[in-house]
Copies of this chain bind each other. A is one copy, B any other.
Amino acid sequence: MPKIVDAAERRRAVADAVFSVIGRRGLEGASLRNVADEAGLAVGSVRHYFSDHSELLIFAMKEMSRRFEERVRSHVTRLSSTQGEAERRAVAEALLGEFLPLDATRREEAAVWQAFVTAARVRPELQPRAREVLEGMRDVVARVLGSAQRAGGLRDDLDVGLESVRLCALLDGLTLQAVQAPDLLPPDVLTDVLRSHLRTLSGGA
C-alpha cells in the first residue's frame, strides 16, 4: 500500500516545531508556514496531519501539558513510596519545584505555556486544556499538602484549601516573573522562596 509514516510521531515532531517557533517569535509567529519551515516540512504536509490551524495549536497544547503532567506524576509516585519525614519533605519540595522554571529549558517551556494560556482567554478552543492544567495543579498541590498534614509534617491549624490556593498562586507568580525577568528571579532565588514558604507551612519558626 502507501508510504507508511508513524502519524503520531509526526504530529509530535510538528508540535516540537510549534514550541520552538512560539519560544522564538511568540504565538502569533506560529503560522503554518513558519511551523512547517521549522519542522522541515511543506505546508501541505503539515496540513495532512492537522486539519486545522486550531487543531495544530490544540494538539501542541495538549502535548505540552501531557509531558508536563507525566513529570509531575512521576514525582507523585515517588512521594507516595517515600518514608521518613525529612525524605518526604525533600521529595515534596522537588515535586513542587517541578512547577518552577529552574533552568533555561523549563523557562522556555513556561513561556510557551504562558503564551497558550494568554491566548486562551480570547480563543475558546484553547480554554479547556488551559483550565484542566490549572485544575490539575490545584489537585496535586492540595493532595500534597493534605497528605503532609495527615503525616504530621504540616501545621494542624492550616486550612489546606486556602493554602493550596496560596501555594499555587505563588508558584505561578514565580514562574510568570521568572519568565519575564530571569535576572530578577534566578533559579536559586526561586528555590529559596519555595523552601522558605514551605518552612512556614511546616510549623518551623
Contacts and interface: CB of A to CB of B under 8 A. Distances in A.
Interface in A102-128: 111, 114-115, 117-123
A20 to B, nearest CB: 13
A29 interface: yes
A200 interface: yes
Contact of A170 (B119, B166, B175, B184): B166
A121 B28 CA distance: 12
A97 interface: no
Contact of A196 (B28, B162, B189): B162
B196 A120 contact: no
A153 interface: no
Nearest to A178: B169
B157 A169 contact: no
Interface residues of A, number: 46
A92 interface: no
A179 interface: yes
A35 interface: no
Contacts of A7: none
Contact of A169 (B26, B138, B173): B173
Interface of A: 24-26, 28-29, 111, 114-115, 117-123, 130-131, 134-135, 138, 157, 162, 165-166, 168-177, 179-181, 184-185, 189, 192-193, 196-197, 200, 205
